[in-house]
């Protein structure tokens, strides 16, 4: 805890601290502390590290301390930062209290749990499709069954129906062209401007899942940590992002796409990145540009697949 305080509490600018929170070193320190306290299985390190942001810049994060939820969250962040902990039990207790308040601030804790179960179930579906190892497939399928059992206890039959009715994204060029066409993009912008972020969240999730599907397993932890969709959406709703923070986040996301696409598409992607250096970031436009890059990626993959098919014949 002391090493994190040394590295983060002497930062006096919101944007600087936001960037430091994305650094691997800081995330690793958070993970290590939670592992040492045996809390890593039920407290996400990003939630814990948010205590530093809340403590240093409460009005940038929450805008107001005039309601009970925000005041509780701020008070617990102060307790964590201002206490010299000699007793690990007390530190554990305060982290748990902050974590509960943070989840409450982000949204109902039951809702958070449901989203985690929902995403885990469908991510395992992607894993099943991406492996030829029958033993792994069996393990993944058994794990999905256990997730369904847990989901039933949390949300009953209605939640099970919600999970089962969702069709996971299968990357197909024609489907992408139909789903993310001009009409969809116009509606995305219109709803975003009115404060309806449903389609924005769907696009963030789609882009994240695409990156997870194509990147190595070793990279998944960093991708999950940085593209924390619930955390991102909460900050968007609270107008908590500065332009430079958006640039940092989106540069990272573009870099993930660049790493998996053909070099022939790099020039287009780079032009999208350079736009952010000259124009204020407009979230829907950047997400639409990322989908355009993903369409090109899928097109290249289909062409490659067709080449192999022709050679085989």
Q: Average pLDDT, stretch 176-182?
A: 61
Dihedral sign from CA coordinates of 39, 245, 205, 24: negative
DSSP state of 263: G
The pLDDT of residue 192 is above 70: yes
Q: How far apart are the first and last CA of the chain?
A: 62
Instruction: Report whether pLDDT(100) > 80.
Output: yes
Q: How long is the chain?
A: 313
- Asked whether the CA dihedral 270, 272, 273, 276 is positive or negative, the reply is positive
Q: How far is CA 88 from CA 4, 35, 306, in A?
A: 16, 12, 59
**Residues 85-100: what's their mean pLDDT?**
88
pLDDT tens-digit series, residues 38-92: 887 778 898 899 999 999 999 888 778 888 888 999 999 999 999 998 888 889 9
Identify which of 75, 73, 97, 87 has the alpha carbon closest to the alpha carbon of residue 1.
87
- Averaged pLDDT, 255-270: 87
pTM value > 0.85: no
The least confident of 62-66, 146-150, 304-308 is 304-308
Look at residues 281, 271, 211, 272 and name the one whose alpha carbon lies nearest to residue 246.
281
**Which range among 100-114, 146-160, 161-175, 251-265 has the greatest average pLDDT?**
251-265
């Amino acid at each position: 805890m002391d090493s994190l305080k040394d590295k983060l509490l002497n930062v006096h600018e919101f944007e600087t601290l936001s960037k430091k929170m994305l650094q691997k070193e800081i995330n690793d320190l958070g993970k290590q502390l939670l592992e040492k306290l045996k809390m890593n299985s039920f407290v996400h390190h990003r939630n814990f590290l948010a205590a530093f942001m809340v403590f240093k810049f409460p009005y940038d994060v929450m805008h107001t301390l005039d309601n009970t939820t925000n005041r509780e969250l701020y008070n617990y962040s102060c307790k964590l930062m201002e206490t010299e902990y000699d007793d690990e039990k007390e530190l554990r207790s305060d982290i748990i209290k902050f974590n509960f308040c943070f989840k409450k601030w982000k949204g109902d804790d039951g809702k958070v749990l449901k989203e985690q179960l929902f995403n885990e179930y469908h991510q395992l579906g992607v894993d099943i499709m991406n492996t030829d190892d029958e033993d792994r497939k069996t393990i993944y399928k058994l794990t999905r069954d256990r997730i369904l059992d847990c989901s039933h206890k949390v949300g009953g039959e209605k939640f099970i129906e919600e999970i089962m009715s969702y069709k996971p994204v299968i990357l197909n060029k024609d489907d992408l062209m139909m789903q993310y066409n001009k009409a969809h993009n116009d509606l995305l912008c219109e709803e975003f401007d009115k404060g309806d972020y449903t389609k924005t969240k769907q696009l963030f999730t789609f882009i994240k899942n695409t990156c997870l599907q194509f990147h190595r397993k070793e990279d998944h932890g960093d991708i999950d940590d940085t593209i924390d969709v619930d955390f991102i959406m909460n900050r968007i709703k609270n107008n908590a992002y500065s332009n430079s923070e958006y640039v940092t986040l989106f540069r990272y996301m573009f870099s993930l796409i660049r790493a998996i696409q053909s070099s022939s598409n790099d020039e287009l992607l780079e032009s999208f990145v350079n736009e952010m250096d000259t124009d204020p970031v407009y979230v829907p436009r950047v997400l639409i540009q990322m989908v355009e890059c993903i369409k090109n990626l899928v097109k290249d993959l289909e062409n490659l697949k067709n080449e192999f098919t022709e050679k085989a014949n």
